[in-house]
Amino acid sequence: MPLVVLTPLFAFVLAATSVRTRRSAANMAMFGAVVMLALSLLVAWGMTRRTTPFQVTYPYLNVPVAFTGPPNFQGFGIDIILRVDRLTSVAMIVMELCVIGALAWHRVMGRSEPGAARFYALVSAFLFAAAGALVSYDLAELFAFWGLAGAVTYLILAHRWSSIEASRSGQVALVLPFFSDLALLCGIAVIYSHYGLQNIGTLVPILHTTPGVGTKSLVAISVLLFVGVAGRLALWPLHAWLTSNARSSPPAGSAMAQSVWSVVGILILYRLMPIISASNAATLRDLVYACAVAAIAAPALTLFGNDPRRALILAGSGVAAIGAGLVIHAYAISSTTLAVVGVACVLAVAPARAAAMLAASAITAAMRTDDMAEMGDGWRRMRASTVALLLSALVIGLSACGALAFGVSSSSRFGLAMGEAILLVSIAAIRVFFAVAIGPLRRRRAFEPDRVREAATASLSWPYWLATAGAVLAVASLFPAWIGYLDGHKHNAAPVGGILVWVGAAALGIALTAAAFVYDKDGALRASAALGRWLDQVLGIAAGLLSRFVYEPVLAITLRINDLIPEGDGELARAAAASGRLALAAARLPAVPIVIGLAALLALVVGIVSPGVFR
């Protein structure tokens, strides 16, 4: 099992040290990913024959810090605990499929990307770190892999360093998730400071039995852990690190970032839920609300603007929010065995997200625009890519239906919110397809529609494969046997009526979008463009206010202090030097006459001020 994690590391080391050409770098990364997939399949096959997880432990550091006090605080250690259960093995396979698909697509479509060797080496490192995070069972170890994966994600997303736009949006990809990563670190740190443990297995039983740990601490821990995971799941409003890089990063990098991180994020959320749920019912309820708002807001935002890749990212973010909401909701209603359905839905949508991103990137590259209002006629000119986009959009729109049928009553308040979310997600995803597929592709300056050609043949099949994998997983999530395989519990079949209700909500969204686009595609896209401009204006004003009243004053104060300190110590030094010069000059004067003169002066002053001289 350790080989599963180490294989991409070996690939990275080899790629970073000895591979120079684009082709050999691509082969090396692909080889690492394929070997890893084979090993993961082997582990998954082994898992079908046993119910207990595979686990190995290696001590990384262990330091005694006290000989007295609570035993848990007498030492500090980080163990590398690699633990693979069925869910983890499936998640790992899904993640590897996404990476392999994106890599294979990039080999053909990313030929003109600069720094190919660097890109492929980083992909291997990303796979290593993400796999490490997936199998981690020690919180510090988890954060180590998580942080490493985060750093590599930034390097992948900011790959086109020489472009100013990529450079700027790359900074968002560093800073925003770094903020949420530090929330995760703070959460883990607060856990350690209260319990002195980091092993999830030994931590969970003592969450409520440790004296001195109150509800406030547990609430703080829950919120910090949730924010940490939500940042990498790209839940609204922490999605900007993906959307801001939608255009400026290599499409394969963006596809990998969103699909792999959604898998890692949802699995870690699932794994941390026993800790998060230890807080209280109100906190869980609030977290469910937060997920519901994110699930509605993210796809709703796609209506504000016409960037196809941004729209697909936000639609995927909506499904991730639905999945996260389902996981937390299951704990909130004490049906913990249902939590896995939320994971199943995100596992299903991950390959579809990658597929949609790759297909949309091929289309935008061919049509040379990122504005859906300028796209069209894809069904005739780029049928293969457009069909892949359709398939992946359908999977994104429908992937949550099975999970919702298992876990949520459609008549509950949460159910209503989820219904709205699934409606908006299906609109957001399928809207891109309609914008691309139908309507005319108009002539623009320096753009001749007749020159639009389908993407290179060797790249065409990968979005299909990925979308198909997503479809298979989405269909599987309707069956209790699959859900039972994932978590090892028995589940009842989802009610057919429930499935129909959720599929109906998604179908309604698809039908509404189709009607709007068939009736007046240009009008629909003009409206969303106007909304997008309005949103940009609002955000611009907000950013201006933030800059005017927070950023600039703080910077001005800092810079003033920065100038003041050298000025101040410079003045002090000059004063000291002046006093020294004065002392030096005084030392050169003849001492006795000076003393006599000063004495005479003193006598004169005393005489003048004495009573009777002037008064």
Partner 1 sequence: MILPEIVLASPSPAAVPGAGIFTSPLILSLTIWLPVAVAIFMSVIPNPRNRYDTVMKQIAFFTNVGILFILFVAYNQFQTFLPTVQYEEKLPWLASIGATYHLGVDGPGMTMMMLSGLIGLTSVLASWGVRERVRSYFCLLLLTQAAVNGAIAAHDMFVLVLFWGAAMIPIALLILGWGGPRREAATWRLVGYWGLGTAALLVAIMTAYAANGGGSFDMDVLLKATLSPRVQLAVGAALVIAAATRLPLFPFHGWARDVYSEAPLGVSVVVAGSASRLGAYLLLRALVAANPAAARLLAPFVAILAALTIVYVALVVIRSVDLRWAAAYLSMVPGAITVLGLAALTPLSIAGSVLSTFTGGLAAALIVAAAWTLTDRAQSRSLQVLSGLAPRMPILTWILVIAALGLLGVPLLASFPAEAMVLFGSFKTQPVGAFAVVAGLVLTAVALAALVHRVLFGQPNPDAPAVSDASLGETWYLGLLAGALLWVGLFPGGPKLPGTDQTVFDPGLLNVMAAGITDIASPYVASTTAP
Nearest distance from residue 36's CB to partner 1, in Å? 19
Binding-residue pattern over the window 402 to 421 for partner 1, x denoting contact by CB under 8 A: --------------------
Given the DSSP bridges, would you call strands 75-84 and 54-64 parallel, antiparallel or unpaired?
antiparallel
Biggest CA–CA distance in the chain, Å, is 118
Give the phi and the psi of residue 340 in degrees, each rounded to 5: -65, -20
d(CA 161, CA 249): 9
Q: Where are the beta strands (DSSP E) in 65-133?
A: 75-84
- In angstroms, what is the minimal distance from the CB of 172 to partner 1? 9
Residue 559 touching partner 1 (CB under 8 A): yes
Q: How far is the CB of 283 from partner 1 (least distance, A)?
A: 18
Q: Considering only the stretches 99-107, 188-196, 384-392, 470-478, report the one whose residues sit in contact with partner 1 under the rule CB under 8 A.
A: 188-196
> Which of residues 101 and 147 has its CB atom nearest to partner 1 in the complex?
147
Determine which residue in the list 194, 247, 309, 431 makes contact with partner 1, applying CB under 8 A: 194
Work out how close the CB of 585 gets to partner 1 at its nearest, in angstroms, rounded to a whole number: 21
Query: How wide is the angle at C-alpha 521 spanned by C-alphas 519 and 526, nearest 5°?
Result: 130
Give the range of 68-76, 438-446, 462-470, 511-519 binding partner 1 by CB under 8 A.
68-76
Stretch that binds partner 1, among 40-48, 72-80, 250-258, 259-267 (CB under 8 A): 72-80
For residue 10, state whether it binds partner 1 (rule: CB under 8 A): no
Figure out which of the listed residues 67, 584, 590, 593 binds partner 1, where binding follows CB under 8 A.
67
Give yes or no for residue 202 binding partner 1 (CB under 8 A). no
Minimum distance from CB of 90 to partner 1 (Å)? 26
Helices 215-233/251-276 angle, 10° precision: 160
199 binds partner 1 (CB under 8 A): no
- Choose between 16 and 44: whose C-beta lies nearer to partner 1: 16
Nearest partner of 354 among 384, 396, 324, judged by Cα = 396
CA 208/CA 279 separation, integer angstroms:
9
Hey, CA dihedral for 600, 606, 612, 615, is it positive or negative? positive
Binding span for partner 1 by CB under 8 A among 55-63, 251-259, 262-270, 588-596: 55-63
Interface residue with partner 1, options 6, 41, 78, 333 (CB under 8 A): 78
From the list 86-94, 146-154, 260-268, 395-403, the region that binds partner 1 by CB under 8 A is: 146-154
Interacting residue with partner 1 among 210, 280, 337, 461 (CB under 8 A) = 210
In the complex, what is the shortest distance from the CB of residue 361 to partner 1, in angstroms, rounded to a whole number?
A: 22
- A 10 A CB-CB count for 549 gives 10
State which residue, 197 or 421, has the beta carbon closest to partner 1: 197
Give the x/- contact pattern for partner 1 in 538-557, rule: CB under 8 A. ----------------xx--
> For partner 1, which stretch binds (CB under 8 A), given 225-233, 351-359, 362-370, 564-572?
564-572
CA distances 206 to 47, 136, 278, 358, 507, Å, are 29, 20, 10, 46, 46
Give Cα separations from 236 to 126, 242, 290, 431 (angstroms). Answer: 24, 11, 9, 20
Shortest distance in whole angstroms from residue 63 CB to partner 1: 5
> Using the rule CB under 8 A, is 558 a contact of partner 1?
yes
Site string for partner 1, 151-180 (x = CB under 8 A): x--x---x--xx-x--x--xx--xx--xx-
Cβ proximity to partner 1: between 171 and 336 the closer is: 171
Q: Is 573 in the site for partner 1 (CB under 8 A)?
A: yes
Closest CA to 86 of 126, 45, 118, 137: 45
Q: Is 189 in the site for partner 1 (CB under 8 A)?
A: yes
Asked whether position 566 contacts partner 1 by CB under 8 A, the answer is yes
Which of 2, 69, 201, 540 contacts partner 1 by CB under 8 A? Answer: 69
Q: Rounded to an integer, what is the distance from CA 381 to the centroid of its chain?
A: 34
Dist. CA 38–CA 343, nearest whole Å: 23
Residue 76 makes contact with partner 1 by CB under 8 A? yes
C-beta separation of 15 from 25 below 8 A: yes
Distance CA(363)–CA(356), nearest Å, equals 10
Residues 6+ apart with CB under 8 A from 215: 279, 280
| Separation CA 22–CA 114 (nearest Å) | 10
The label of the residue with tokens 């069909």 reads: 387
With beta carbons less than 8 A apart as the criterion, state whether 56 and 4 touch. no
64 is a contact residue toward partner 1 (CB under 8 A): yes
Q: Is 188 near partner 1 (CB under 8 A)?
A: yes
Give the residue, chosen from 53, 110, 196, 299, that forms a contact with partner 1 under the rule CB under 8 A.
196
Is residue 100 a contact partner of residue 127, using CB atoms and an 8 Å limit? Answer: no
How many residues bind partner 1 (CB under 8 A)? The answer is 64
Q: Could you tell me the smallest distance in angstroms from the CB atom of residue 261 to partner 1?
A: 17
Residues 6+ apart with CB under 8 A from 102: 252, 253, 255, 256, 259, 354, 358, 462
Using CB under 8 A as the binding rule, the residues of this chain from 581 to 600 that contact partner 1 are none
What angle (nearest 5°) sits at the alpha carbon of residue 480, between those of residues 477 and 484? 95
Give yes or no for residue 336 binding partner 1 (CB under 8 A). no
Token pair belonging to 96: 């590897």
**Contact pick of 73, 379, 447, 465 for partner 1 (by CB under 8 A):** 73
20 binds partner 1 (CB under 8 A): no
Other C-beta atoms closer than 10 Å to the C-beta of 571 total: 10
Interface region with partner 1, contact rule CB under 8 A, candidates 210-218, 346-354, 440-448, 530-538: 210-218
Number of Cβ within a 10 Å radius of residue 56: 12
Instruction: Report the residue number, 172 or 288, with the smaller CB distance to partner 1.
Output: 172
Report the C-alpha gap between 120 and 454 in whole angstroms. 25
Distance in angstroms (rounded) separating the CA atoms of residues 203 and 465: 41
Give the closest residue to 386 by CA, choosing from 409, 367, 407, 370.
Answer: 367
Query: Euclidean distance between the first and final Cα of the chain, in Å?
Result: 106
* Nearest approach, Cβ of residue 607 and partner 1 (Å): 43
Residue 464 touching partner 1 (CB under 8 A): no
- The residue among 30 and 123 lying less far from partner 1, judged by its C-beta, is 123
Tell me if 447 contacts partner 1 by CB under 8 A. no
* Nearest partner of 359 among 314, 393, 396, judged by Cα: 393
Query: Helices 164-195 and 139-157 meet at what angle, rounded to 10?
Result: 180
Residue 54 host element (H or E):
strand 54-64
Where does this chain bind partner 1 (CB under 8 A)? 59-70, 72-74, 76, 78, 140, 143-145, 147-148, 151, 154, 158, 161-162, 164, 167, 170-171, 174-175, 178-179, 182, 185-186, 188-190, 192-196, 210-213, 554-555, 558-559, 561-562, 565-566, 568-570, 572-573
